[in-house]
Amino acid sequence: MVQAIPTPPSKLLFTTTSPSITALSPLHRPSRAATPSFPGNSAPKFRCQAAASTAVPEAQLKKKSIYDIENLTTWLLKQEQEGNIDTELTIVLSSISLACKQIGSLLQRSSIINLTGAQGTINIQGEDQKKLDVISNELFCNCLRSSGRTGIIASEEEDVPVAVEETYSGNYIVVFDPIDGSANIDTALTTGSIFGIYGPDEQCLVNFDDDDDTLDQAKEKCVVSVCQPGTNLLAAGYCLYSSALVFTISIGNGVFGFTLDSTYGEFILTHEDIKIPKSGKRIYSFNEGNYDLWDEKLKKYLDHLRQPGPEGKPYSGRYIGCLVGEIHRMLLCGGIYGNPKNKNSKNGNLRLLYECAPMSYLVEQAGGKAIDGHKRILDIKPEQVHQRTPIFIGSADEIEKLESFLA
């Protein structure tokens, strides 16, 4: 409430004890009888004085409010307005994020709704398919078809690339692994989805009969030529299914992470312009059960990592069994991940087109490196859709150290 404070005539001020009250109600207006009297004949002078303003630091002005959130849809629209992507690619990315939400929901309830265990089928790689491998593949394909902007789909779970009849513009080529680390599903451990998007090639756009939704060998070869090499990627990303559901993406201008807020059902920007720490944690991630099957030079590298470092501690070994989980930790903490060739797997275990290339694209955008032991992953030209490759991926300094051992 406002009070009249008696002071010398030139220094009489109005003050308020409640900054939220800007006007006096009739009940609080002072009556004439309550007006203070002053000695002498001079009438008191009242002057309103504004509080002195203080300059707000620029950093404080830029600080976001806790209510100032940016979701994936808003972020994509901004990228479109800035000319980084077109409308068709915005729709394709939105459809992929919807598929990830659906897969994440199924994973959380997989034990309850009996979606654990094997499907009883084998994919093109000769691997036993989990129930959610098959279902997640269908979810991805359906979301991409319904976008109307996808021309060709290549998936780990499909024998050959699939032509999308429902497309009417865009004609983007989307490659993906619907469930990476599906062996972790039954034990509720980390899994993920990986995707990469390539631009259309007009020479490879063909007409399909109503009952023909796959490509023959000649057309498959055409698709491979479109999808190579990884340097042609327009966008790539992954979705992590763990204690949080994190959608991480790059469209060629950095790496951005969005965490699903189940309250809103929206992916919220939580990791802006991710960069792999230059002096990150000393972490290596290799399946050391295959140690005796590896090359001698690689063994010496692993032996070196186990030796105490400058601070008297060796590297910490971490292995999740899910490429998405390994890369997510690396982006935030640093380190190195390796899936090398061995005596039993001459070409490594991971697929080049829809696992290694998209992840290498992300890591390079975040300041890291990815090689097959001799050359850059993104420079490798695939000869088959399901071609495998060794991969070493991580912080730039860690990859350079590895290269010195493999030289």
At 182-216, the pLDDT tens digits run 999 999 999 999 999 998 755 555 444 444 555 56
Rounded Cα–Cα distance for residues 345 and 87 (Å): 42
340 neighbors 390 (Cβ within 8 angstroms): yes
List the one residue out of 217, 92, 221 whose CA is nearest residue 147. Answer: 92
Alpha-carbon dihedral of residues 382, 93, 329, 342, nearest 10 degrees? -20
pLDDT score of 52: 53
Band of residue 90 on the pLDDT scale cut at 50, 70, 90 = very high
Q: Mean pLDDT across the stretch 23-51?
A: 48
- Per-residue pLDDT at 344 exceeds 80: yes
Question: Is residue 36's pLDDT more than 90?
Answer: no
Confidence band (pLDDT; 50, 70, 90) for 63? low
**Is pLDDT at 371 greater than 90 in this prediction?**
yes
Least confident of 104-108, 167-171, 281-285, 352-356: 167-171
The percent of residues above 90 in pLDDT, for the chain, comes to 60
With 70 as the cut, is the pLDDT of residue 350 above it? Answer: yes
**Residue 25: pLDDT band with limits 50, 70, 90:** very low
Please compute the mean of the pLDDT values over residues 2-16 and round it to a whole number. 46
Retrieve residue 216's tokens.
């023959």
The band of 12, judged by pLDDT with boundaries at 50, 70 and 90, is very low
Question: What is the C-alpha end-to-end distance of the chain, expressed in Å?
Answer: 80
Q: Are 225 and 277 in contact (CB under 8 A)?
A: no
pLDDT of 35 over the 90 cut: no
- When pLDDT is cut at 50, 70 and 90, the band that residue 240 belongs to is very high
What is the rounded CA–CA span in Å between residue 359 and residue 339? 13
Does the structure show a pLDDT above 90 at 301? yes
Burial 79-98 (b: 16+ CB within 10 A, else e): bbeeeebbebbbbbbbbbbb
Question: How many CB atoms within 10 Å of residue 188?
Answer: 14
Averaged pLDDT score across all residues of the chain = 83
Long-range contacts of 126-129 (CB under 8 A, 24+ apart): 129/157
Q: How far apart are CA 164 and CA 148, in angstroms?
A: 8
Distance between CA atoms of residues 185 and 180, nearest Å: 10
Task: Tally Cβ neighbours within 10 Å of residue 76.
Answer: 21
pLDDT at residue 285, rounded to an integer: 97
The model carries a pTM of 0.80
Check residue 178 and give its pLDDT: 96
Q: How many Cβ atoms sit within 10 Å of the Cβ of residue 160?
A: 17
The pLDDT confidence band at residue 1, using thresholds 50, 70 and 90, is very low
Give the pLDDT band (50/70/90) at residue 234.
very high
The model's pLDDT over 92-132, given as tens digits with 9 standing for 90+, comes to: 999 999 999 999 999 999 999 998 888 777 776 777 788 99
